[in-house]
Chains A and B, each alone.
Chain A
């Protein structure tokens, strides 16, 4: 049970306070309700590029990191398809520095041309390092547009192509800032050995006089129900074939999300999971095999992925996935197997709540989902999933018409 307090400033900024007296470190986490899904289809990768620019100085502070480091702190951020999340940790006695820094960049960024020019290059190098200069690095650049035809989840956070990043202009940057970076579009969490009153007064002092901006109303095109089997085959210069099989699955706030997540655990969590035990060890067909959920806010993807062993074709690999699916659709999972994955969920939650920073990030995320208190309801949602639920959701989700397959073939075979 994670205790917290919550209040909202007049300008719409939501603030969460979590008290943890066991640590000398304070976590300062600010989530903005904007992600790659909010981008213009012709200017993708922008939310993430923008995240880089948030470190390039604000109107009153030349450089974000220097004063934070001087205060003994450190900071970073990440962008997903759904959100952009900035976090700092610092000695608790210097907490106010984080308020000063983060409020100034929300107040107004510096918009320096040099920062835009440099961060464009940095992000292009990131694009190359993570997506292009890696074996199988472009999988998500291929799989997303195969599975999504309408919804903006069809592009990855890094963007569709390098050109979109090269083309970003200062005008775009400013427009994006004013559209998405208002106080009413943000959630702040301060966690540590800090009293509520202090968080209230610091929030009011540093964020209170930032004006509300026009509220961005998200109105994204819905992904129509997939009603055809899709298959894409590409050839690349990699040592082995690989297969990826994606199914549309329930949104993060849907009760069946938890069932789908447990299905992925049964199939692929730990060495005793079905895929590993049966198809890596007992009857070796894959050198590496996984099943996982994308966990996105809107309807996401349930993905099977595998590197077939030498001599196993992509067709056979796909056939194996369908066999695994058929079994979970037609045979009830044993009580013990379900209990096993529930026990795993319970312990990972405890291990996940170790640091104040993790707690602060989660509280912001659940608040965005609707209510910070969801953090304390999460375990029960997993525990209430039944064996029948697993079968039902597997039947609904794993159909041929809901499936997109990416065959990633080695040129060398």
Chain B
């Protein structure tokens, strides 16, 4: 068969992505359950998400310690017994925390739900933090902390967020002395106040029947009210400064360039900024990757992101580069920022990015688990899945003139904060 390899096969642009609405339930105590029951595999993920700011603890380590120790011991079961019971049924616990949220998640086969749900209830509602377990945890966490402080990637993240957020709690990080200052009482107070109904939402995804909802009500419908975490403390700007911290012996430098943006979530302008970010550093074919990796070979990877937190929207460029090419990399980063603020994006480039973004959105709609994660991302910022309809429309219709004006409004190089840790030359 003859085949014309120089001719690309025809492609179809994605115009429509289906984001099914979750089923909503309310437990006896008012906790909302958001359910995506459309799995193909007999498995379930249950996320208990607590909207609690990290600054509600006396230092940033408290929120982390509560989150990482939860599941270790309960009122009824000493350390080791509770997680053995969960492990025995083949289930997994995962706990994660960020500046604005703490979550505890359960992953289990659907057929084991009856065995596992009461254990999960115990994990979340009956957690205790014995002195001895806390001591061991703090010692080990400190060792891991000290190891992480050897990495330019960790050090630059710290430097950058300190300078970016200043006195705001987003900028405060765990410090070595915190490990000596955290007590059982601190953890207990944080847990009892905030791992509670006032801050809780439940998101379930996978394949299950209605008995799961009644099970959730039996387990978590009795969760006490607790204290609502105070969340609002918004930041709208950052300083344009340059910070360099030398690290002895480093052969690569960690680099961050970015700023806090004054932009509203889910607006036309926000979606346009997301397109602009993709062009600049949001995918493999982006300008930063094409220039700094694929043309110059300065790095294994470079990217940019727009992340919307409860109290700030941040634009950041991040990379690790050879010490000898750190200065050149910075020069190219500013060159790309300058270019995107001064030249219209070509039709060809815009078409690639639009199609790529629509493909990614389609992929993120694939399956109950992925949908639930997407939903989590928008729900806590006050949106639902109709967000994606508007997002798709905005991507499809954006013009290069609109992008240029958004770039000039938000991405001017002289407004950026720069943080570098490592060496400026070999």
Contact = CB atoms under 8 A, between A and B. Distances in A.
Interface stretch (B59-67, B136-144, B305-313, B339-347): B136-144
Interface string A272-284: 1100010011101
Interface string A282-320: 101001100000000000000000010110000000000
A122 B151 CA distance: 20
B321 interface: yes
Contacts of B83: 270-272
B23 interface: no
A239 B147 contact: yes
B252 interface: yes
A119 B297 contact: yes
Contacts of B295: 118
A238 B355 contact: no
A11 interface: no
A238 B367 contact: no
Contacts of A280: 136, 140
Contact of B143 (A123, A270, A310): A310
Given A24-B362, A128-B251, A347-B108, A354 B139 contact: no
Contacts of B10: 96
A107 B5 contact: yes
A239 B140 CA distance: 13
A238 B148 CA distance: 10
Contacts of A71: 11, 355, 359
Nearest to B284: A65
Interface stretch (A87-95, A223-231, A325-333, A362-370): A87-95
A121 interface: yes
A205 B92 contact: no
A339 interface: yes
Contacts of A42: none
B33 interface: no
A211 interface: no
A253 interface: no
A42 B87 CA distance: 46
Interface in B210-244: none
Contacts, number: 226
B356 A69 contact: yes
Interface stretch (B40-48, B193-201, B263-271, B383-391): B40-48
Contacts of B352: 66, 69-70
B21 to A, nearest CB: 18
A23 interface: yes
Interface string B1-35: 11101101111111001000000000000000000
A347 B109 contact: yes
Nearest to A201: B1
B299 interface: yes
Contact of B40 (A22, A129, A133): A22
Nearest to B254: A133
B297 A118 contact: yes
B43 A351 contact: yes
Contact of A66 (B146, B285, B360): B285
Given A240-B146, A280-B136, A281-B136, A100 B9 contact: yes
A237 interface: yes
B258 interface: no
A232 interface: no
B80 interface: yes
Contact of B150 (A66, A122, A238, A343): A238
Interface size grouping (class) on chain A: 35 or more
Nearest to A24: B362
Interface string A122-146: 1111101110111110000000000
Contacts of B146: 239-240
Interface in A248-277: 269-273, 277
Given A22-B367, A239-B146, A340 B87 contact: yes
B89 interface: yes
Contacts of B41: 350-351, 353-354
A208 interface: yes
Interface in B146-185: 146-147, 149-152
B269 to A, nearest CB: 24
B3 A239 contact: no
B334 interface: no
Interface string B326-368: 0000000000000000000000000111011011101101110
Contacts of A343: 87-90
Contacts of A273: 87
B298 interface: yes
A70 B320 contact: no
B84 interface: yes
B80 A272 contact: yes
B294 interface: yes
B285 A67 contact: no
Nearest to A96: B9
B90 A309 contact: no
Nearest to B152: A133
A272 B367 contact: no
A91 B9 CA distance: 14
Contacts of B382: none
A104 interface: yes
Nearest to B3: A205
Interface in B64-108: 71-72, 79-80, 83-84, 86-92, 107-108
B359 A238 contact: no
A128 B8 contact: no
Given A66-B285, A97-B8, A125 B136 contact: no
Given A23-B367, A91-B14, A282 B80 contact: yes
Interface in A13-60: 20, 22-25, 59-60
Nearest to B358: A72
A161 interface: no
A300 B396 CA distance: 50
B286 to A, nearest CB: 10
8 nearest A-B pairs in the assembled complex, by CB-CB distance? A72-B359, A121-B297, A343-B90, A272-B84, A347-B90, A287-B140, A96-B9, A126-B300
22 contacts: A22-B40, A69-B353, A74-B284, A91-B359, A94-B11, A96-B9, A97-B9, A118-B297, A121-B296, A134-B150, A136-B147, A209-B1, A269-B87, A270-B87, A271-B80, A273-B87, A287-B143, A307-B143, A343-B87, A346-B90, A347-B109, A355-B366
Given A23-B367, A69-B359, 15 more contacts: A25-B363, A59-B5, A60-B5, A100-B9, A118-B295, A128-B252, A133-B320, A239-B149, A239-B150, A309-B139, A340-B90, A343-B88, A343-B90, A344-B87, A351-B107
